[in-house]
């Protein structure tokens, strides 16, 4: 099982305080805090990420014609096996 070693005294103290107030383990309160943060973030992207994503979607069809698959000749189209 992976481990997480928190070496920030303030974070440790906050987790301990919340653990004591709720009666839950420190792991449990940290898990809940992380889940809530991820839920709050949702699928939002920054403006730059949105612009890059839109550009990539617009450019993808153009690039398919310019850059053929370099591995296309290595595999049989019908079976997918090496030629």
CA angle at 33 for the pair 27 and 36, rounded to the nearest 5°? 140
Answer whether residue 76 is part of any domain: no
| The residue to which tokens 């000749």 are assigned | 73
| Token duo for residue 79 | 């079976």
Domain extent for 23: 9-41
pLDDT in tens, 29-79: 999 999 888 877 776 666 788 888 888 888 877 776 666 777 778 888 888
Answer whether residue 77 is part of any domain: no
* Residue 62 contacts residue 55 (beta carbons within 8 Å): no
Answer whether residue 75 is part of any domain: no
Rounded distance between C-alpha atoms, residue 3 and residue 59, angstroms: 41
Range of 25-29, 48-52, 79-83 with top mean pLDDT: 25-29
| Token duo for residue 49 | 């990420």
> Model pTM?
0.49
| Token duo for residue 1 | 């099982």
Answer whether residue 65 is part of any domain: no
Q: Structurally, how many domains does the chain consist of?
A: 1
Answer whether residue 16 is part of any domain: yes
């Amino acid at each position: 099982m992976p481990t997480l070693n928190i070496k920030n005294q303030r974070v440790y103290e906050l987790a301990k305080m919340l653990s004591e107030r709720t009666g839950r383990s420190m792991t449990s309160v940290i898990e809940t805090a992380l889940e809530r943060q991820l839920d709050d973030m949702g699928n939002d992207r920054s403006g730059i990420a949105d612009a890059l994503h839109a550009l990539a979607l617009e450019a993808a069809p153009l690039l398919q014609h310019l850059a053929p698959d370099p591995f296309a000749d290595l595999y049989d189209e019908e079976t997918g096996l090496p030629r």
